[in-house]
Amino acid sequence: MRISCVGAGPAGLYFAIVMKRRDPNHEIVVHERNPAGTTHGWGVVFWDDLLATLRANDPDSAQAIADAAVPWSGQVVDVEGQPPLHAGGGGYGICRRRLLQILIERALALGVELRFESEISDLSQVADADLIVAADGVASQLRRHRADRFRPQIEAGRNKYIWLATTQRFPSFTFGFVPTRAGWVWFHAYSFKEGMSTFIVECAPETWNGLGLGTMPADAELRVLESLFAKHLDGHALISRDGHDTRLPWLSFRMLANRTWRADNVVLIGDAAHTTHFTIGSGTRLAIDDATALASVLGEHDSLPHALDAYDHRRRRALARVQRDARLSAEWFENLPRYIRYNAPTFLTLLLARRSRLLKRMPARTYLYLRGHYTKLTGRGGSPLARIGRPAHPFGPKADCGISGAEPGTPHR
C-alpha cells in the first residue's frame, strides 16, 4: 500500500513504524513541515499502560523510550498559605523532542521515507497515495480541506496557559497555586529529564489581563512569573522554547471533536482527530493508540473503506468518555474559585475528583457530604461515587487517591 502520513508527531511516526513492521512492502512517506529536530512544548507524562502498548507493537522503540523516560512519584498540591499536601500515584516524564527523535530513528531504520520541510496544505500534493493519514495536529490543514465531511467542532477553553520549562527538579507531579491581586495563578510541573521539568502556568483570563500578562516582552514576563513562583523555583529560571525576544505564546486550549474521522481515503489520527485537555496528560498516549488501532484494522480488513469505517467506529467510541473526562477536568480549573476557598485537604480531595460529573452538578459541600456519607456506610472511600461520577482516577491510570495530611474540612477563607 502507498501511504502518505502528514505530520511527524507521535501519531504519524508511530503509525508509520507499526505499518512497516507489519509489512515492509508498504511504501510509506511521512511529510513534516518543520525541519528535523524542531518541536513545540517540553516534556509529557505517561504511565505503564503506554509502555505496555509500545512493547506489544515495537519492542525496540519501547525500550529506547523507557530508557529516556524519568519516573515521577506522587502528587504535591501546594496552595500558598497552607501546608503542602501529598497524594499517591506515579508515572513517567519524557522530553518530547527526545521521544520524537527515537521515533524518527526507528522509522528510518525500518525504511520509512521522512520528508522534512514538506508542508502539505492541499490533498492534491499527496493524491498518488492509497491512504492519506492526517496526523498534522490540532490545526490540521487536511481536516480543514475536508471540513464538510469531518465536521470538526472546536471550542476554546476559557483559561490562558503557557507551556514553559525550568531547571528546577519536581520529582513529584506538583500543582502550585499562588494568589495575586488579580486572582489565582497556578502551575503544573513534573520532571521530564535529568535537570529539566515541564512548568505549565495557567490562570483565568481576568487574572491574565489584570496582571498585564501578554503585554510585555517575553523576558520581562518570565521574570514576573519567576517572582510569583519564587518559592517553588528556588532561584531556577523559567525557560520559553520560543525565544525570549518576542511575546510569550500564551494559548487557550482548543477542545476538538469530529463527527467522523474518515473521508474517502483520508483518515484523522491523534490531535487532528481529537484533543484532551493537558490536565489529564493523555494526548500522546491517545495518539499512539489511534496509530496502533488504525494499523490493526488495516490488517483485519481486505477492503480499505471497511477498515477505515471500523477504525472510525472503534476509536471515536473509545474517545467519547476520555474527552468527557478531559472537559470536566478543564472546567474544574476554569471554576477554581469554587474549590480553592476550602482548606488544603478538602481542596486536594476536590482536585482529585475533578473528573466527576457529580461534583460539577452540585455544590462542592454537598458532594463532600455524600462522599463522606458513602465512606462511613461502606468503609470504601468514595467508591460508589466513583461509579456514578467517575472521580476515581485523580491523574491518569496509575494514580491512587491516598492522601497524606489532615482530614478534609471546611472553607478556609
Which residue in the set 3, 5, 17, 44 belongs to the binding site for ligand FAD (CB under 6 A)?
44
Comparing CB distances to ligand FAD, the nearer of 10 and 382 is 10
Which residue in the set 15, 17, 20, 33 belongs to the binding site for ligand FAD (CB under 6 A)?
33
Non-local CB neighbours of 154 within 8 Å, separated by 6+ positions: 254, 255, 256
Site for ligand FAD, residues 103 to 132, rule: CB under 6 A: 119-121
> Is the Cβ–Cβ distance between 200 and 277 less than 8 Å?
no
Which residue in the set 3, 5, 10, 187 belongs to the binding site for ligand FAD (CB under 6 A)?
10
| Alpha carbon 52 to chain centroid, angstroms | 19
Interface with ligand FAD includes 8 (CB under 6 A)? Answer: yes
Residue 352 in grid coordinates = 482529585
Which residue in the set 240, 282, 349, 356 belongs to the binding site for ligand FAD (CB under 6 A)?
282
Q: Kindly determine how many residues on this chain lie close enough to bind ligand FAD according to the rule CB under 6 A.
A: 33
The secondary structure of residue 237, as a DSSP letter, is: P
Q: Which stretch binds ligand FAD (CB under 6 A): 76-84, 202-210, 275-283, 387-395?
A: 275-283
Task: Kindly tell me the sign of the dihedral angle through the C-alpha atoms of 93, 98, 103, 109.
Answer: negative
Comparing CB distances to ligand FAD, the nearer of 283 and 382 is 283
For 215, counting Cβ atoms within 10 Å of its Cβ (0-12 exposed, 13-18 middle, 19+ buried), the class is: exposed
Comparing CB distances to ligand FAD, the nearer of 26 and 274 is 274
User: Nearest approach, Cβ of 54 to ligand FAD (angstroms)?
Assistant: 13
Q: How many residues does the chain have?
A: 413
Which residue in the set 72, 150, 163, 395 belongs to the binding site for ligand FAD (CB under 6 A)?
163
CA-CA distance, 235 to 238, in Å (whole number)? 10
Interface with ligand FAD includes 136 (CB under 6 A)? Answer: yes
Site for ligand FAD, residues 176 to 205, rule: CB under 6 A: 200
Non-local CB neighbours of 63 within 8 Å, separated by 6+ positions: none
CA-CA distance, 1 to 89, in Å (whole number)? 43
**Which residues bind to ligand FAD, rule: CB under 6 A?**
6-12, 31-34, 41, 44-46, 119-121, 135-137, 141, 163, 200, 270-271, 278, 281-285, 287
